[in-house]
Amino acid sequence: MTNSKQRILVAGGGGFIGGHLAAHLLRQGHAVVAADIKPFASWYQLHECAENFSVNLEEKDACLKAVEGCDAVYNLACNMGGMGFITNNKALCMLSVLINTHLLMAARECGVSEYFYSSSACVYPDYRQEEANLTALKESDAYPAMPESGYGWEKLFSERLCKHYEEDFGMRVRVVRFHNVYGPHGTWDGGREKAPAALCRKIIEAQANGTGEIEIWGDGEQTRSFMYIDDCIIGIEKLMRSSYSDPLNLGRSELVSINQLADLVQEIAGIEVRRRHNLHAPQGVRGRNSDNTLIKQVLEWEPEINLRTGLEKTYWWIKEQYGRRQHGEHIVQ
């Protein structure tokens, strides 16, 4: 993101983060090309003033079509979701390597000078995340490598490919490792949603159907950090304007357990629910948190929006969407 106006491809523009990023770039006056495999009716945000493509970016020809004439590429496209989805769809998640590979090839062929890749905290080894009260993960902890099976391996490989494109071909590449991004205009039902949205929906449903009960995967003592979408977009912008080119954590360092997350949503909703713990459901690693030492050094900033503030906005947005769906409206969820 330079001060001059650019033509920018947002790959995954129909998704959660991609939709917010496209909106931000449009507000800045850039020409935006948004591409996503989903049909337009399933995009979380469809911006009429962008050039929109519903294409499969696993195919090189589709990447060439989307990249043509662009100055920069922001790759947020991949098969992903919450813990249930990535646990049960390892091969599908790994096929996203085709998207990043073909986008890099297309970017080089089309003379694109700037490339952004969205990686994940799932690249960090399981052996560093076996305790709920863990030491926060710093960027160098990714090696020796043992990332999350499927999704994590794809992300780590794609990080390396981006780095080698920078080294071999002079492309200006930036990589962030997202730590659990949440907020409005994202997935909140259907199996791909992450913990904040899932708990918001479950508590809304428990109130609506009168059961007063929700299911929590595991014992609820597993820990995570969660970053609100506005901080995510600010972090991307700051990194793209920086000279730092190695992978960088982008997440809050506010560690909470899933039970504490449920407590917060209950307080926001103004109700109490019973909790049924499913110890056989996918739980992922025992603990994961972002060490923000490096981001504070290189960007002189770290994500600032606290969990309660972000959850309040997310909860009331999901409650509105749930109500609209109950009244028969078509809602992207």
271, two tokens: 């109700």
DSSP output for 315-328: HHHHHHHHHHHHTT
DSSP string spanning 225-262? --EEHHHHHHHHHHHHTSS--S-EEES----EEHHHHH
Catalytically active residues, by annotation: 151
Give me the helices (H) in the chain, please: 16-27, 60-67, 83-88, 90-94, 97-109, 151-169, 195-208, 229-240, 258-269, 293-299, 307-326
> CA-CA distance, 159 to 156, in Å (whole number)?
5
- The C-alpha atoms of residue 102 and residue 98 are separated, in whole angstroms, by 6
Sign of CA pseudo-dihedral 56, 36, 88, 326 = negative
Cβ distance 272 to 266 under 8 Å? yes
Asked if omega into 147 is within 30° of 0 (cis), the reply is: no
Under 8 Å between Cβ of 295 and 248? yes
Q: Alpha-carbon distance 210 to 5, whole Å? A: 52
**Burial (CB count within 10 angstroms: exposed 0-12, middle 13-18, buried 19+), residue 266:** middle
CA dist., res. 283 & res. 279, Å (int): 8
SS3 assignment, position 143: coil
